[in-house]
Amino acid sequence: MRPRSLLLACLAAVVAPVSACGAAKSPLGSGSPGSATAAPSNANASATPSANAGVTGAPTSPARRRVVLVSIDGLRPEYLFEADARGEKIPNLRKLVAGGASAEGMDGTWPTVTYPAHTTLVTGVAPNTHGILANHPFDPKLVNDDGWYWYAPAIRVPTLWSAAHGAGLHVASVYWPVTVGAPEIDWNFPQFWRTKTDFDDALMRALATPGLADEVERAYGVLPAEHRGDHERGNAAELLIKTRKPDLSLVYFTDLDTVQHATGPFSRLAYATLEAIDGEVGRLVKAAADAGTLAETTFVVVSDHGFATTHEVVRPLSYFRARGLVQLDDRRRIRSWEANILPAGGSCGVYLARPDDAALKKRVRAIVDGLVVDAGGGIAKVYEGAEVAAKGGFEGATWVLEATEGFTISGAVEGDTHSITREGGTHGYPPTVRSMRASFVAWGAHVRAGKLGVVRMIDVAPSVARWLGVALPKAEGVAIEGAIAP
């Protein structure tokens, strides 16, 4: 019943026809894009390539198409659209919004957690199709030492990087999830960690594309790593955009998620963290300008999910253990189990050791119903697994539990069924929960400026593929036409 992991050979992608035209104008107009005053600007709308195309009706597309896809983990759309009311200073992001295409919100994946969402962002398919079901692979005996779905071969479908590689394009990735061992990424700093200390530098040196770690360390002193911050991730991305001029760059900023887990969304620390990330976004735009690639680059800024404030925790596995569904050994480790969970913050899948055992299913269902009663209001809904599978998540689960907003589902095997915790934040609730909406902004080459309604996360990869001029034929989503100019 453990989900299979298939590595599919990447499909050959095709390069879209390119127009033969001269150098395009900078989407920024004049000025230095990295500075707060002259970063992406919509002051002169005619300075955008899309506007030029609209005015003249003639093909003004640069011959080369490049995309920088930036993910800001846990960025709720309100951060972008209510910046004044919230007192945020995010000039670079605001100028991307003002001069680009931006969605009111983006409906995410089941569950709304980082690894499934990031894989959907680069494949255009739901988690049950791409195979990254949660942050952690199902680990019923908790033997995997908190390991995550780090490894790219677990992705079952073509990715943007495999499509780009197949089309002869070059790809850089800084910290994008599920990229360890992705041979189609030419320059790769994958997200991975072990101790979250300086000892992890040796690991990053081994996992990154040979030679890159030394180069980044020479230029900036330190490597990107889990225990360092988004500035170090920005360093590596800046270097790659400037020196390698990748056709596709994937850049993942994690700090806003970390802070929001600790404080909840919209805290003073969250605003300060986003302001720092805004500076990193400005650096990336400036790096493209310095590389001379800005006019042919589409910047897409997304997030993977929203965020909710939390104050209580529910422990389904502990509840199962107390009712005989999980047995511990004398060292308090799981020895055997009949029912288990795949936790994902605001939701979890419930898995049976023998899913076809009708008697077991009936017995566990009664216990799940008891949990709903005993969880202090923390379980909002129990879904049939098949119902959620049809929406693309929690493959193989017999049921899926949705926590009440404000509650986190813990994977702990011991402890109270529910208890109050210090206030913090989480995500992972179903994508239908409003606070789980993610962000989508596109700006630059071939972007049709304007406001979009609510878009879908499965539509991001097909849009990026279009901007890049490659094909992603297995995508379940479609390109967001309202954001795309010729």
Q: Which is nearer to Zn ion, 304 or 312 (CB)?
A: 304
Q: CA 246 to CA 291: how far, in whole Å?
A: 10
The residue count for binding Zn ion (CB under 5 A) is 4
Q: CA 130 to CA 122: how far, in whole Å?
A: 10
**How do beta strands 407-409 and 308-314 pair?**
parallel
Beta bridge partners of 484: 447
**13-42: which residues touch Zn ion (CB under 5 A)?**
none
Residue among 111, 134, 165 at smallest CA distance from 347: 111
Beta bridge partners of 338: none
Q: CA 110 to CA 334: how far, in whole Å?
A: 27
Q: Which is nearer to Zn ion, 110 or 399 (CB)?
A: 110
Q: CA 213 to CA 258: how far, in whole Å?
A: 24
What stretch of H or E contains 243? Answer: helix 230-243
Burial of 366 (0-12, 13-18, 19+ CB in 10 A): exposed
Binding residue for Zn ion (CB under 5 A) from 186, 200, 257, 296? 257
Stretch that binds Zn ion, among 63-71, 108-116, 201-209, 325-333 (CB under 5 A): 108-116
Angle, vertex CA 287, rays to CA 28 and CA 229, nearest 5: 120
Q: CA 218 to CA 34: how far, in whole Å?
A: 23
Stretch that binds Zn ion, among 114-122, 167-175, 239-247, 470-478 (CB under 5 A): 114-122
Q: Which is nearer to Zn ion, 114 or 340 (CB)?
A: 114
Stretch that binds Zn ion, among 166-174, 194-202, 254-262, 367-375 (CB under 5 A): 254-262
Stretch that binds Zn ion, among 122-130, 146-154, 250-258, 397-405 (CB under 5 A): 250-258
Structural contact between residues 300 and 72, judged by C-beta atoms closer than 8 angstroms: no
Q: Which is nearer to Zn ion, 255 or 304 (CB)?
A: 304
Q: Considering the complex, what minimum distance in angstroms separates the CB of residue 359 from Zn ion?
A: 38
Residue among 423, 451, 458, 456 at smallest CA distance from 437: 456
Residue nearest to Zn ion (CB): 114
Q: CA 309 to CA 297: how far, in whole Å?
A: 36
Q: Considering the complex, what minimum distance in angstroms separates the CB of residue 73 from Zn ion?
A: 4
Q: Which is nearer to Zn ion, 257 or 402 (CB)?
A: 257
Q: Considering the complex, what minimum distance in angstroms separates the CB of residue 446 from Zn ion?
A: 28
Stretch that binds Zn ion, among 220-228, 300-308, 354-362, 370-378 (CB under 5 A): 300-308
Q: Considering the rule CB under 5 A, would residue 232 count as an interface residue with Zn ion? A: no
Binding residue for Zn ion (CB under 5 A) from 304, 395, 459, 476? 304
Stretch that binds Zn ion, among 82-90, 256-264, 370-378, 398-406 (CB under 5 A): 256-264
Stretch that binds Zn ion, among 40-48, 205-213, 214-222, 299-307 (CB under 5 A): 299-307
Residue that has been written with the tokens 């011991």 in this structure: 414
Q: Considering the complex, what minimum distance in angstroms separates the CB of residue 125 from Zn ion?
A: 18
Q: Considering the rule CB under 5 A, would residue 114 count as an interface residue with Zn ion? A: yes
Q: Considering the rule CB under 5 A, would residue 255 count as an interface residue with Zn ion? A: no
Q: Which is nearer to Zn ion, 34 or 111 (CB)?
A: 111
Q: How many Cα atoms sit within 13 Å of 120 on the Cβ side?
A: 34
**158-187: which residues touch Zn ion (CB under 5 A)?**
none
Residue among 454, 452, 460 at smallest CA distance from 476: 460
- In this structure, which amino acid lies at residue 475? A
Q: Which is nearer to Zn ion, 50 or 71 (CB)?
A: 71
Give the three-class secondary structure for 275: helix
Give the three-class secondary structure for 307: coil
Q: Considering the complex, what minimum distance in angstroms separates the CB of residue 221 from Zn ion?
A: 27
Q: Tell me how far apart the 2 most distant CA atoms of the chain are, in Å.
A: 76
Q: Considering the complex, what minimum distance in angstroms separates the CB of residue 305 from Zn ion?
A: 5
Cis preceding-peptide flag for 111 (omega within 30 of 0): yes
Q: Considering the complex, what minimum distance in angstroms separates the CB of residue 219 from Zn ion?
A: 28
Residue among 265, 260, 412 at smallest CA distance from 348: 412
Q: Considering the complex, what minimum distance in angstroms separates the CB of residue 478 from Zn ion?
A: 24
Q: Considering the complex, what minimum distance in angstroms separates the CB of residue 272 from Zn ion?
A: 18
Q: Which is nearer to Zn ion, 212 or 436 (CB)?
A: 436
Q: Considering the complex, what minimum distance in angstroms separates the CB of residue 256 from Zn ion?
A: 9
Q: Which is nearer to Zn ion, 73 or 238 (CB)?
A: 73
Residue that has been written with the tokens 């955009």 in this structure: 241
Structural contact between residues 93 and 273, judged by C-beta atoms closer than 8 angstroms: no
**60-99: which residues touch Zn ion (CB under 5 A)?**
73
Q: Considering the complex, what minimum distance in angstroms separates the CB of residue 210 from Zn ion?
A: 29
Q: Considering the complex, what minimum distance in angstroms separates the CB of residue 106 from Zn ion?
A: 13
Q: Provide Rg for the chain, Cα atoms.
A: 23
What stretch of H or E contains 188? Answer: strand 187-189
Kindly list the residues in this chain that would bind Zn ion in the complex (CB under 5 A). Answer: 73, 114, 257, 304
